[in-house]
Amino acid sequence: MAWLPNFRSFFLGGGGGGMREIDLGSHTIRSHGSRVAKTHMHDWIILVVLGVTDIILNLIHPFYRFVGKDMMADFKYPMKDNTVPVWAVPIYAVLMPILIFLIIYSRRRCVYDLHHGILGLLYAVLITGVITDAIKVATGRPRPNFFWRCFPDGIENFGGRFGDVLCHGKESEIKEGHKSFPSGHTSWSFAGLGFLSLYLSGKIKAFDQRGHVAKLCLVLLPLLLAALVAVSRVSDYWHHWQDVFAGGIIGLVVASICYLQFFPPPYHDEGWGPYAYFRAREESNSNGSTVLPVNGLAIRSRETVVNQNGNSFMPLHVESPSRSTIDEMEAGRR
């Protein structure tokens, strides 16, 4: 169980070995939360715009493509209830990851990690939602159960000008029946849970080249859940297999892009923390250093550092003297 110390360290605030860290507890929601939120105010505004855009896309009627009698064989699957209801998707794809972020924050007390985790997650699901719904509206592909949405009594009517289908079912059911490609359940699931998988893989250093399969299993759990949701969409006859495949690709790609906006790649040495944390650490290092002249050399001392063995020391950085300083020293000797 050699991987347990690293696994425990991501809850207790441990980072990369040998690297000096700022006090994580000094950057909390109370002390720096408003400052971080103001810095990303425009990002939150764009997030609201994305949410409104997604709502508008759901109100637009999709493209009603031609459906002839010989095509209806692929759309005669029975009408079934959703195994995973629509209201459950935001719970496991958004609220559950945020709950995990909050648990980690309660241990590490890093407002940068919490804020960027939530912001990146929301961007992942909303951008995915806009892309998915835009394609749904433009494509208008019928669902596998379209026949029973169009003809709930089973009486066919293909009296259109070119032999097109003339539906007499409920308007809302017919509208929803033209939104098969791509799968929204699947894209949202892979966006939210894919982001969570990347987040966890960075925190526990799943790709530290030590070969601990237990870490990999933990990272793959969210993706397994997303895959099961995708399978349910096909078995419920709400989507064709191409719909869920495309939805999964969209969700994973967007989740990866949004994650890398705020965090280093999970396989990176600093993949356990957000970029903002390391910028704050560099600022703390520069603000906390002093310069002491010793025999014409600039000795820069920093705050005390604790190495991996628990021994504390004060690193010194020797700066090379300028040419004018050397000339003055040589003149004094003469």
Q: Which residues are catalytic, by number?
A: 185, 239
How is residue 95 written in tokens?
């609220």
CA distance 3 to 6: 6
Report whether 105 contacts 114 (CB < 8 A). yes
Tell me which residue of 164, 186, 300 sits closest to 236, measured CA to CA: 186
The DSSP element (H or E) to which 289 belongs, if any, is: none
The partner residues of 298 in beta bridges, in order of sequence, read 293, 319
Report whether 114 contacts 276 (CB < 8 A). no
- Give SS3 for 306: strand
The partner residues of 313 in beta bridges, in order of sequence, read 305
How far does CA 184 lie from the centroid of its chain? Answer: 17
Report whether 177 contacts 146 (CB < 8 A). yes
- Give SS3 for 170: coil
Cα end-to-end span (Å), the chain: 67
**Long-range contacts of 159-162, Cβ-Cβ distance < 8 Å, separation of 24 or more:** 162/66, 162/68
Q: Is the preceding omega at residue 182 within 30 degrees of 0, hence cis?
A: yes
The DSSP element (H or E) to which 261 belongs, if any, is: helix 241-262
CA distance 89 to 142: 22
User: Tokens 């006859």 appear where?
Assistant: 237
